[in-house]
Amino acid sequence: MKTYFPLFVLLLALTVVAGSLAPRPDAGEFALARFGRLPVLADGRIKPMATIARTSLLMLQGRQRVIAPEGSRLTPEEWLLDLFFEGSKADTERIFRIDSPDVLLLFNLSPADGEGGTRFSFHQLEAGLDELDRQARLAEPVENAARTSFQRAVVELREHVAYYDRLKFSLQPPDRADFAAEIADADRLRAEQTAFASMDTYSLLRAVPPLSGVPDPALWQNVGHALHAVTGPAEVPPAVRAYAVLGQAWRDRSPAAFNAVLGTYEAQLADPFPDAIRRARFEAAFDRAEPFITSLYLYVAAFLLAALSWLVWPEELGRAAFRLMALAFLLATAGIAARMWLEARPPVTNLYSSALFIGWGSVGLCLILERMNRNGVASAAGSLIGFSTLIIAHHLSLSGDTMEMMRAVLDSNFWLSTHVVTVTTGYAATFLAGFLAIIYIVRGVFTRSLDARTADALARMVYGIVCFATLFSFVGTMLGGIWADQSWGRFWGWDPKENGALLIVIWNAVILHCRWGGLVRQRGLMALAVFGNIVTAWSWFGTNMLGVGLHSYGFTNAAFHGLILFVGCQLAVIALAAIPRARWRSRNGPAAA
């Protein structure tokens, strides 16, 4: 049993992974997955409806699941169809997340009125929207950094309501029960020009591909614009007609008609836009598979197994942990590769992808370290970092689509792939050294498992990783300087993000010089490495919170408390390291410590 345990764990995990990647059939008769693959243009790029549905829900309510008032579950695609074609029904679905009781007061609501105490429907908010607008306008002149949490909450909620409203205007005028009949009638078409004009103003999506078949994203139109100045039904673009019929079928609860018009429209698109269709199809499948969520669970399991291996069955549990981590790493690799193909970009383009990449890089290093040492330590550290960075990435994904278009100044694949990837690898390595040091300190202080051999092995790993981190963070920072010289005319401008990267380089240099000069031994080395976590976390997130400088592309308030908490934890670990070695439970460790 013991011998086969690692194999058993691996097979179990493989089954889970295969299950997550396999295409899932639609629960009902509507071909929702196929609807999810339809391409539209939004935020400057062509993406599938599935992405629109998922990113919208994540942004509005922090999760993808929708619970209908009667208690049944809706898929993101079903929710989006309701919103497009049956607005009054969508308005009763509780998908606005409101955490602040003060904001709820604006609507005369209490947590008890919401789903799970925090989610409310458009219908519930409707009566208080004017007051929300007034409050948001009072808050707007205040600089973002100086706003109170109430002000931030009202501004954000108003943005969410506007976003929701704009989605409604995307495929047909909201709450129109017979739009398909309307566009088939010349008189009614002419009479509706005002409605089309407001669709043109508000629509969030450009759903109508160019009739010419030229694959230029700039030629995609929104429905309102496409219907503007149309004089007869013959001039209505096929995409508008297809979506109108789709909406009718959805309202009529007629899967047969729904699936039929979907098939016709897909066939119309396939020929002129093979590339857009291929990418949209792939992205929809990627959205459904959620590879990063699966690898998040695998990292948790790997960490637990690795930690257990220090108590019982060191060989078998250690091997099982290593395999799980390797599998999670492969899955994350596939996920990152998929994103790179979809975006046609290097792996790191924004804060979200930097979180993915830091996790990936650290775990990759840990796989090598674990192969060299086989003591479960690198597996534990790697899966812990993998898990944490995916959690961070998940929270970052709540602000909208994670595949944003690159602003002009950042639009350089060459520098993104050299500077950004190298400097992010430096972050990853510095974190890894810090997490290995945490394992050393925690195991040493609280357990008897840190024997001299393990302690020496950990010290070697930390030292090696700090060397690696110094090299990558230095080269990455300097490449950044060269990029800045190429595009802004100065090599170094003391911008917060530049300073952050420099701090990491300096701190790694401090660790190495202390080590070389004999100013610290093992215990001191570990404490310094843990402080490296604080320096890196501040450079990664703290600098963006200042809201100044050329790199402040990822301003995030919610992360502030997280950062404070993280710094507190690291300081606590450093304080533990300050306890004299004689008081540690593993006091029989390395004599030199």
Partner 1 sequence: MNTSRPPVPAADRPHGRGSLRAILGACASLRLTVGLLCLSLVMIFVATLDQVHLGVWGVQQKYFHAFLVWVKLPGTAISLPVFPGGYLLGGALLVNLITAHLCRFRLSAKKAGIWLTHCGLILLLIGEGVSGLLQRDGQVRLDVGQSQRYVESFRENELAVTDTTDPRNDLVVAIPVAHLQATETLQDPRLPFSIRPVAFFENAKLRVRSQLTTPPPAVATAGDGTDLLVDPAPVTYKPDETNWPSSYIELAGPDGPLGTWLVSTLLEQPQTFTYQGRSWQLALRARRDYLPFTLTLKKFTHDIYPGTDIPKNFASTLQLRGDSGGDDRVVQISMNKPLRTAGYAFYQAGFANNDRTSVLQAVRNPSWQIPYWSCGMIALGLLVQFGLGLFGSLRRRSAAAAAVRQPAPLPL
- Contact residues toward partner 1 (CB under 8 A) are 41-45, 145, 206, 217-218, 220, 222, 372, 404-405, 407-409, 411-412, 415, 456, 459-460, 463-464, 467-468, 470-471, 474-475, 478, 481-482, 485-496, 499-500, 502-503, 506-507, 509-510, 513-519, 521, 535, 538, 543, 546-549
Q: Which amino acid is at 25?
A: P
CB of 505 to partner 1, least distance (A): 10
3 state DSSP class of 252: coil
CB of 209 to partner 1, least distance (A): 12
CB of 517 to partner 1, least distance (A): 4
For partner 1, give the closer residue by CB, 387 or 507. 507
DSSP 418-436: IIIHHHHHHHHHHHHHHHH
- Residues 222 and 207: beta-carbon distance below 8 Å: yes
CB of 551 to partner 1, least distance (A): 11
For partner 1, give the closer residue by CB, 29 or 411. 411
For partner 1, give the closer residue by CB, 88 or 198. 198
CB of 226 to partner 1, least distance (A): 13
Question: Residue 548 — left, alpha, or beta (φ > 0 → left; ψ -120 to 50 → alpha)?
Answer: beta
CB of 541 to partner 1, least distance (A): 13
Q: Could you give the CA distance from residue 119 to residue 113 in angstroms, rounded to a whole number?
A: 9
Q: Could you give the CA distance from residue 53 to residue 76 in angstroms, rounded to a whole number?
A: 5
CB of 15 to partner 1, least distance (A): 36
CB of 379 to partner 1, least distance (A): 19
CB of 345 to partner 1, least distance (A): 14
Q: Could you give the CA distance from residue 299 to residue 321 in angstroms, rounded to a whole number?
A: 9
CB of 511 to partner 1, least distance (A): 10
CB of 480 to partner 1, least distance (A): 10
For partner 1, give the closer residue by CB, 304 or 520. 520
How many separate helices (H) and strands (E) can be counted in the chain?
27, 6
CB of 395 to partner 1, least distance (A): 23
Q: Convert 134-170 to b/e letters by CB count within 10 Å (16 or more is b).
A: ebbeebeeeeeeebeeebbbbbbbbebbeebbebbbb
For partner 1, give the closer residue by CB, 297 or 491. 491
The 8-class DSSP code of residue 23 comes to P
For partner 1, give the closer residue by CB, 272 or 493. 493
Rounded (10°) angle between helices 421-446 and 558-577: 50
For partner 1, give the closer residue by CB, 313 or 492. 492
Q: Could you give the CA distance from residue 530 to residue 523 in angstroms, rounded to a whole number?
A: 11
For partner 1, give the closer residue by CB, 382 or 500. 500
Length of the chain: 593
For partner 1, give the closer residue by CB, 96 or 440. 440
Q: Chain centroid to CA 217: how far? A: 25
**List of long-range contacts for 459-464, beta carbons under 8 Å, 24+ apart:** 459/522, 459/525, 459/526, 459/590, 461/369, 461/373, 461/377, 461/378, 461/436, 462/433, 462/436, 462/437, 462/525, 462/526, 462/529, 463/515, 463/525
Q: Could you give the CA distance from residue 286 to residue 296 in angstroms, rounded to a whole number?
A: 16
CB of 490 to partner 1, least distance (A): 7
- Please state the φ and ψ torsions of residue 530, each to the nearest 5 degrees: -65, -40
CB of 36 to partner 1, least distance (A): 20
- Please state the φ and ψ torsions of residue 96, each to the nearest 5 degrees: -100, 120
For partner 1, give the closer residue by CB, 341 or 414. 414
CB of 474 to partner 1, least distance (A): 6
For partner 1, give the closer residue by CB, 100 or 417. 417
Between the CA of residue 314 and those of 2, 355, 458, 553, what are the distances in Å?
11, 31, 17, 45
Between the CA of residue 264 and those of 109, 184, 196, 233, 240, what are the distances in Å?
46, 18, 25, 18, 13
Per-residue H/E/C for 371-421: HHHCCCHHHHHHHHHHHHHHHHHHHHHHHCCCCCCCCHHHCCHHHHHHHHH
Q: Which of 312, 378, 324, 371 is nearest to 2 (CA)?
A: 312
For partner 1, give the closer residue by CB, 81 or 502. 502
Q: Which of 577, 584, 542 is nearest to 563 (CA)?
A: 542
For partner 1, give the closer residue by CB, 134 or 513. 513
Rounded (10°) angle between helices 496-516 and 522-537: 180
For partner 1, give the closer residue by CB, 35 or 474. 474
For partner 1, give the closer residue by CB, 353 or 470. 470
β-bridge partners, 39: 48
